[in-house]
A and B are shown apart, each in its own frame.
Chain A
């Protein structure tokens, strides 16, 4: 992604537009639909996570530099630990209900 040297920052613009789309989609779901509260939370939560991932790649230079790979692995492992710790604890502490 050497966009600085190639002139037009294609992927950044693409990421920016996609982020806008995702944000407005979330707004639309929350304000303009009559889905149940639960469904809305799930949908906008998912959209948020997708957007966080997108921004990591498009703007935070995750894959750039000499150790793009280890950074990607790092982030994935970090997310894995966070999910296991939080979701796992909730599941176990509710006795698996």
Chain B
């Protein structure tokens, strides 16, 4: 099996040496800090073993923030490298590694955790449930995502980063052309995280179908829950394809099979095909929950019910079907012939229809509304024009014949950043500003929020707008350098400066989190925005059982009408009953560590060791099957006390919104 110690630590590059030292110091720092504060027990009982959907959601969001940092640094490094012609910061190999990890981290470890995190916190509350359908499975989902993310991230200090692009196309990503172990990290780490995501999808489908409050029919469900539901369905439909594709890749790379190789009867384009069969639905997986968040934010701050609720639901379901029918637009230039390319051009353009329906719904929701320009609403407002640019350039790219020109240029890079950043990052920011009080019991500062907003939006447009023109002028993507004669210099510089502004914007966000955690007013109402959906009907931060008494729903925007009619909000103490809650469990955490170790060994192709470690996974599964603990009951007295604590406080409803 041959242990490759020489390949273990990456040496010789000052940037990487710096990171190795920084990582080591951070790790020591965390251990020292937690020990000093005597917080190990707290960490274990309150977080590592928790099955509470709100805490799991918060941990997902934390992973999202960290990974945005990591992916953002990668982005800045690329922008710094190409700021001037013949830049010297990164060499070709290093640039390859950086754009690969940037793409993977941003999509799989930034966008997904952020969105699934917010789904976790909010969906059960919105549908009036006390937790998700399978709380322990939910914890396992999170820890697998975490374990996959960590495994992927250590690649750049131990063993070497993958370098074949976030798409890892064969034959380049195969053993013949990428003999190092970097691409093993890709195959194994994403696999582990992907299993977690698949389980989340199943969990949320069941939760939403089975656990809605009394009276909440599907057509009375808040829009964010709808989009989360459809997202979960797309996850369940498409992630198995990724699982299989990555497994075949692992076999090719580690066990010498020939699924995608050039020799031995392999089919390299089959990887591309399978990758995008998952990859295109994946972009809808990340963008649909975002659409849901914008719907909530726009309707709350326009003080109106969402316009065209039914058409919105219809268009989301339409997207769930269409999104499975367009994958070939990512490889029109394979040259599959006019039949294939025309069909996929048409299906791709058809996606613009449901998306357009949504756009108009949002605009008409705002029409004649009393709009409040909170930070959350600003993100939603900026989203509309920015996403429109992304969408229209998307329709341009959808034309198979024209795509031969746009393909592989910075035009494409600009397009998908214009879709992903407004469609995911703006949405996540909007959602965080909006739901922060629900999660932590205090608001994020609105002034800092607006600084964050303006810097980020201006920086974003300045970074990516020039890339459209650079791309049309022939600048190719994934190129680490260009000559002065190409004339790309000035626009590249503008773009790099824009990236700097964008980074400052993000820094303001981080500072805002810190500032608000320290200084923000804790004495706020549980419904500071005067909102419309059930998550605001309970305390902020939410008590662990969510609702003392599950509200009954009679209409869309249930909470709004409860407030208007002053009905169903209060309950008398003798209506309370014991609440059944799931117990904490350390098993998901331990199982994910075993997964991580086994994956790590597999990455290094220490097959026997990996197999032995994998036995640990089976043991964990067996332990779980003999686990008869089915939770505990919260006594009525405790509920009374907790409810008394928040319900009878005089807190201004709207005084925190300006």
A contact set with B: CB distance below 8 Å: 67, 70, 77-78, 80-81, 84-85, 88-89, 91-93, 95-97
Once A and B bind, how many residue pairs between them come within 8 Å at the CB atom?
A: 40
Check if B277 is an interface residue, CB within 8 A of chain A.
yes
Report the bound CA distance from A17 to B321 in whole Å: 36
Count of B residues near A, CB < 8 Å? 22
A93 with B269, Cβ < 8 A, contacts A77-B237, A81-B237, A85-B277 known: yes
B267 touches A81 (CB 8 A): no
- CB-contacts of B312-339 with A (<8 A): 321, 324-325, 327-328, 334-339
B340 touches A92 (CB 8 A): yes
Give the distance to chain A from B652, nearest Cβ to Cβ, in Å: 43
Among B277, B327, B336, contact of A95 (Cβ-Cβ < 8 Å): B336
CB contacts (< 8 Å) of A80 on chain B: these are 321, 324
CB contacts (< 8 Å) of B337 on chain A: these are 95-97
Check if B399 is an interface residue, CB within 8 A of chain A.
no
Report the bound CA distance from A96 to B343 in whole Å: 10
B325 touches A89 (CB 8 A): no
A96 with B340, Cβ < 8 A, contacts A84-B325, A85-B241, A89-B277 known: yes
Check if B89 is an interface residue, CB within 8 A of chain A.
no
Report the bound CA distance from A77 to B200 in whole Å: 19
CB contacts (< 8 Å) of A92 on chain B: these are 273, 328, 336, 340
B209 touches A67 (CB 8 A): yes
Give the distance to chain B from A15, nearest Cβ to Cβ, in Å: 27
CB contacts (< 8 Å) of B241 on chain A: these are 85
Interface string of B276-307 (1 = CB under 8 A from A): 01000000000000000000000000000000
CB contacts (< 8 Å) of B334 on chain A: these are 95
CB contacts (< 8 Å) of B248 on chain A: these are none
A89 touches B324 (CB 8 A): no
CB contacts (< 8 Å) of A96 on chain B: these are 336-340
Q: Known pairs A85-B277, A91-B340, A95-B334. 19 more at Cβ < 8 A?
A: A77-B233, A77-B237, A80-B321, A80-B324, A81-B324, A85-B241, A88-B325, A88-B327, A89-B270, A89-B274, A89-B277, A92-B328, A93-B267, A93-B269, A93-B270, A95-B336, A95-B337, A96-B337, A96-B339
CB contacts (< 8 Å) of B267 on chain A: these are 93
Q: What is the interface of chain B mostly: helix, strand, loop, or mixed?
A: helix
CB contacts (< 8 Å) of A97 on chain B: these are 337
B270 touches A95 (CB 8 A): no
Interface string of B82-124 (1 = CB under 8 A from A): 0000000000000000000000000000000000000000000
B340 touches A95 (CB 8 A): yes
Report the bound CA distance from A93 to B260 in whole Å: 13
- CB-contacts of B55-90 with A (<8 A): none
Report the bound CA distance from A93 to B340 in whole Å: 10
CB contacts (< 8 Å) of A89 on chain B: these are 270, 273-274, 277
CB contacts (< 8 Å) of A88 on chain B: these are 277, 325, 327
Q: 7 tightest CB-CB pairs across the interface, nearest first?
A: A96-B340, A96-B337, A96-B339, A81-B237, A95-B336, A96-B336, A95-B337
Q: Which residue of A lies closest to B342 (CB)?
A: A96
User: Which has the most chain A C-beta neighbours within 10 Å: B325, B328, B336?
Assistant: B336
Report the bound CA distance from A77 to B205 in whole Å: 14
Report the bound CA distance from A92 to B280 in whole Å: 16
B contact set with A: CB distance below 8 Å: 209, 233, 237, 241, 267, 269-270, 273-274, 277, 321, 324-325, 327-328, 334-340
Give the distance to chain A from B56, nearest Cβ to Cβ, in Å: 26
Report the bound CA distance from A70 to B206 in whole Å: 11
Report the bound CA distance from A31 to B340 in whole Å: 38
Q: Which residue of B lies closest to A90 (CB)?
A: B273
A93 touches B273 (CB 8 A): yes
A84 touches B270 (CB 8 A): no
Report the bound CA distance from A96 to B337 in whole Å: 6
Report the bound CA distance from A34 to B261 in whole Å: 42
Report the bound CA distance from A97 to B338 in whole Å: 10
Report the bound CA distance from A62 to B156 in whole Å: 50
Q: What are 28 A-B pairs with beta-carbon distances under 8 A?
A: A67-B209, A70-B209, A77-B233, A78-B237, A80-B321, A81-B324, A84-B324, A84-B325, A85-B241, A85-B277, A88-B277, A88-B325, A88-B327, A89-B277, A91-B340, A92-B273, A92-B336, A92-B340, A93-B267, A93-B269, A93-B270, A93-B273, A95-B334, A95-B340, A96-B336, A96-B338, A96-B340, A97-B337
Report the bound CA distance from A97 to B269 in whole Å: 16
A95 touches B335 (CB 8 A): yes
Give the distance to chain A from B621, nearest Cβ to Cβ, in Å: 25
CB contacts (< 8 Å) of A81 on chain B: these are 237, 324
Give the distance to chain A from B542, nearest Cβ to Cβ, in Å: 28
Report the bound CA distance from A85 to B324 in whole Å: 9
CB contacts (< 8 Å) of A77 on chain B: these are 233, 237
Report the bound CA distance from A89 to B344 in whole Å: 13
Report the bound CA distance from A1 to B470 in whole Å: 65
Q: Which residue of B lies closest to A89 (CB)?
A: B273
Report the bound CA distance from A92 to B273 in whole Å: 8
Give the distance to chain B from A44, nearest Cβ to Cβ, in Å: 28
Report the bound CA distance from A78 to B320 in whole Å: 12
User: Which has the most chain B C-beta neighbours within 10 Å: A80, A84, A93?
Assistant: A93
Give the distance to chain A from B148, nearest Cβ to Cβ, in Å: 24
CB contacts (< 8 Å) of B336 on chain A: these are 92, 95-96
Report the bound CA distance from A76 to B655 in whole Å: 51
Give the distance to chain A from B17, nearest Cβ to Cβ, in Å: 45
CB contacts (< 8 Å) of A93 on chain B: these are 267, 269-270, 273
Give the distance to chain B from A14, nearest Cβ to Cβ, in Å: 31
Q: Which residue of A lies closest to B238 (CB)?
A: A81
CB contacts (< 8 Å) of B321 on chain A: these are 80
Give the distance to chain B from A62, nearest Cβ to Cβ, in Å: 16
Report the bound CA distance from A78 to B238 in whole Å: 11
CB contacts (< 8 Å) of B277 on chain A: these are 85, 88-89
Give the distance to chain B from A91, nearest Cβ to Cβ, in Å: 7
Give the distance to chain A from B589, nearest Cβ to Cβ, in Å: 32
User: Which has the most chain B C-beta neighbours within 10 Å: A67, A84, A85, A89?
Assistant: A85
Q: Which residue of B lies closest to A91 (CB)?
A: B340
Report the bound CA distance from A30 to B277 in whole Å: 36
CB contacts (< 8 Å) of A78 on chain B: these are 237
Give the distance to chain B from A66, nearest Cβ to Cβ, in Å: 10
Q: Which residue of A lies closest to B278 (CB)?
A: A85
Give the distance to chain A from B404, nearest Cβ to Cβ, in Å: 16
Give the distance to chain B from A39, nearest Cβ to Cβ, in Å: 25
CB contacts (< 8 Å) of B338 on chain A: these are 96
Report the bound CA distance from A78 to B340 in whole Å: 23
CB contacts (< 8 Å) of B324 on chain A: these are 80-81, 84
Give the distance to chain B from A85, nearest Cβ to Cβ, in Å: 6
